[in-house]
Amino acid sequence: MVGMDPDEAVSTIDDMVCFALYAASRAVTSAYRPLLQALNLTYPQYLVMVVLWQRGSITVKDLGDHLQLDYGTLTPLLKRLEAAGLVTRRRRADDERSVEVGLTDEGRELRESTRHIPIAIGDAMGMPEAELSRLRDSLRRLTNNVSTHGSGA
């Protein structure tokens, strides 16, 4: 390892962890796409719905903290979900700065149509539960490390 040919120090693109991550993320999103398209959802929209199905309602700020997405991404995305009749958006009475996002009946009902998705995806991933668990832990640690090290977000 030490003293490699300088031309190989960076190795090929296929040896870069960052590329493996970038490619895997897009590949998994692609696997979701046909399943979600049937429900007229994109992958980020699905993530928002998952949070809402769990929590019932949440401010845009808290949603951004959970998904690590900013307002520039969430505001238009939530407007599209609202236009699709799945969520509601209204200012909180006790703090007019905050917008509370909630589910419509249609949004709540949509959950039933997604029950098969985690199974289908887990199947497509084709990896034992233990390895997926290890992978998830590594990814979480990686995310924590680079985001605290980086710009101190």
Partner DNA sequence: CACGAGTAACTTGTGCACAAGTTACTTTGG
Partner DNA sequence: CCAAAGTAACTTGTGCACAAGTTACTCGTG
- 103 near 86, Cβ under 8 Å? yes
* Binding flag, residue 116, its own copies (CB under 8 A): no
Rounded Cα distance between 26 and 14, Å, is 15
- 49 near 55, Cβ under 8 Å? no
* Binding flag, residue 108, its own copies (CB under 8 A): no
Q: DSSP string spanning 36-103?
A: HHTTT--HHHHHHHHHHHHHSEEEHHHHHHHHT--HHHHHHHHHHHHHTTSEEEEE-SS-TT-EEEEE
Q: Which positions touch DNA (CB under 7 A)?
A: 22, 26, 29-30, 33, 42-45, 59-61, 64, 68-78, 80, 89, 94-100
* Binding flag, residue 22, its own copies (CB under 8 A): yes
Question: Closest CB to its own copies among 26 and 91?
Answer: 26
Residues 40-99 that bind its own copies (CB under 8 A): 43, 47, 50-51, 53-54, 66-68
Question: Closest CB to its own copies among 95 and 109?
Answer: 109
Per CB under 8 A, the list member of 37, 40, 113, 143 interacting with its own copies is 143
Question: Closest CB to DNA among 28 and 108?
Answer: 28
